[in-house]
Amino acid sequence: MDFELSEAQSAIRREVVDFARARLGEHVAEHDRDGVFPREDWQRCADFGVLGWPVPTEHGGSGYDPLTTMIALEALGYGCVDNGLVFAINNHLWGCVIYLLEHGTDDQRARYLKPLCGGRLVGAHALSEPEAGSDVLNIQTTAVRDGDHYVLNGTKWFISNGPTAGLYVVFARTGGPGREQDRLSAFLVPADLPGVQRGQEFSKMGLRTTEMGAVTFADCRVPVEDRLGREGAGYSIFTSTVEWERSFMFANQVGAMERLLERSVDHVATRRQFGRPIGALQAVAHKIADMKIRLELARLILYRVGWLKTNGRLSLVDTTIAKVFVSESLVQTAMAAVEVHGARGYVSDHGIERELRDALGGPIYAGSSSVQRGILAELIGVRGGLTG
């Protein structure tokens, strides 16, 4: 096993870190306070190529393989202090772009990928509803075939990028006989289509620079050619694509863990109490050591997923482990950073408390940790792990 990055990957990592430090997050404290999506930083990311890292060059992307994409996302999370911006990028990539790459037709890719990569379209994943989150099969939004269109009706809830998006990947019930899994379909729905209504916007504890809102579809006519895959394939499309979301979305969190570790090491080396640096206190030193342990283990499991995807192999067990471990590790690391910084960690001036607020969403979004543990139990042979 070779754990070294290639020369090209190392160069990409340096370039991404330099770009993120120099160009992104200058107004993060203000934007976080006011819940503002940083449109200028989004466009800077598009111009740098971030929004198309996993997209083939012929469609306007960078053509990075999955592992290189993961390394680049880790570097972005390390260099960019605006975790909400990075979260918006992840929703764009793994809630929209990857669906086009994996399941779109040539015509759909030709129409949508270049605007998505170029920043002209923000992508969003419209799955959750007021009564359907983890219970995907309980979706109530309907799509009724009417000639060469589908008529969509229903409301989507807690949609990250919802108020900002120009293109939604929407899951709806198309009916028909058979299993519940065969009654869902997926659609590409532009935000400017008649019948698309942006609704309530939600104020959040953290990740405030990613806007979240409700989206309602009222007799919205979607052309058949904007259906993803065949009718009734929505559930299989979702389950086959979710591997990307539940691992790649958390690569930036490894970068954030490294950034927090470095800040904490600098602080405990320079902050003096009782006549010596506080890092000399065992209770403080052990927190720093645990931060390093979590960082290295998180990086290893994510790189394993990236390697598996690069080699075209299934990785559902590994992505499930990665989602749980990385998201919970970041919460623990951010909490430790607050503790070792003391009052400086608690007040808003230094940004450490923002890191903790941003981290707390990780065990919830992209499938809660509780649900993921149930899925993992079933994957390794424990019957009823998801519902027991």
Query: Is 35 in a helix, a strand, or coil?
Result: coil
- At residue 71, what is the residue type? I
Q: 321: which residues sit within 8 A by CB, 6+ positions away?
A: 301, 376
**CATH topology for 124-232?**
Butyryl-CoA Dehydrogenase, subunit A; domain 2 (2.40.110)
Query: Is 20 in a helix, a strand, or coil?
Result: helix
- At residue 298, what is the residue type? A
pLDDT of residue 339: 98
At the second CATH level, the architecture of 250-379 is Up-down Bundle (1.20)
Query: Is 189 in a helix, a strand, or coil?
Result: strand
Joined together, the tokens standing for residue 39 give 């449109």
pLDDT of residue 178: 76
CA distance 362 to 125: 17
For 344-357, letters b (16+ CB in 10 Å) and e give ebeeeebbbbbbbb
Domain ranges of the chain: 7-121, 124-232, 250-379
HSE value, Cβ hemisphere, 13 Å, CA-based, for 335: 9
What confidence tens digit (pLDDT) does each residue in 3-16 have? Answer: 899 999 999 999 99
Say what the pTM is.
0.96
Query: Is 143 in a helix, a strand, or coil?
Result: strand
Please state the three-class secondary structure of 280-323 as a single string: HCHHHHHHHHHHHHHHHHHHHHHHHHHHHHHCCCCCHHHHHHHH
Q: 36: which residues sit within 8 A by CB, 6+ positions away?
A: 30, 209
Q: CA dihedral defined by 237, 243, 249, 251, rounded to 10 degrees?
A: -160
Q: Is residue 388 pLDDT above 50, yes or no?
A: no
**Band of the pLDDT at 386, cuts 50, 70, 90?**
low
Query: Is 277 in a helix, a strand, or coil?
Result: strand
Phi, psi of 208 (to 5 degrees): -70, -20
Residue 201 DSSP one-character state: E
Calculate the average pLDDT of the chain: 95
Of the chain, the percentage scoring pLDDT greater than 90 comes to 92
Is residue 221 a contact partner of residue 150, using CB atoms and an 8 Å limit? yes
What confidence tens digit (pLDDT) does each residue in 181-210 have? Answer: 899 999 999 999 999 999 999 999 999 999
If we measure between CA atoms, which residue out of 66, 124, 56 comes closest to residue 90? 124
pLDDT of residue 385: 59
Q: 348: which residues sit within 8 A by CB, 6+ positions away?
A: 29, 354
What confidence tens digit (pLDDT) does each residue in 290-302 have? Answer: 999 999 999 999 9
- At residue 176, what is the residue type? G
Kindly list the catalytic residues: 245
Phi, psi of 58 (to 5 degrees): -65, -15
What confidence tens digit (pLDDT) does each residue in 210-265 have? Answer: 999 999 999 999 999 999 999 999 999 999 898 899 899 999 999 999 999 999 99
Ramachandran sector of residue 14 (left: φ over 0; alpha: ψ -120 to 50; beta: rest): alpha
Q: Is residue 276 pLDDT above 70, yes or no?
A: yes
Per the listing, tokens 């202090």 go with 81
Q: Which CATH class is domain 7-121?
A: mainly alpha
What confidence tens digit (pLDDT) does each residue in 343-368 have? Answer: 999 999 999 999 999 999 999 999 89
- At residue 110, what is the residue type? A
Query: Is 59 in a helix, a strand, or coil?
Result: helix
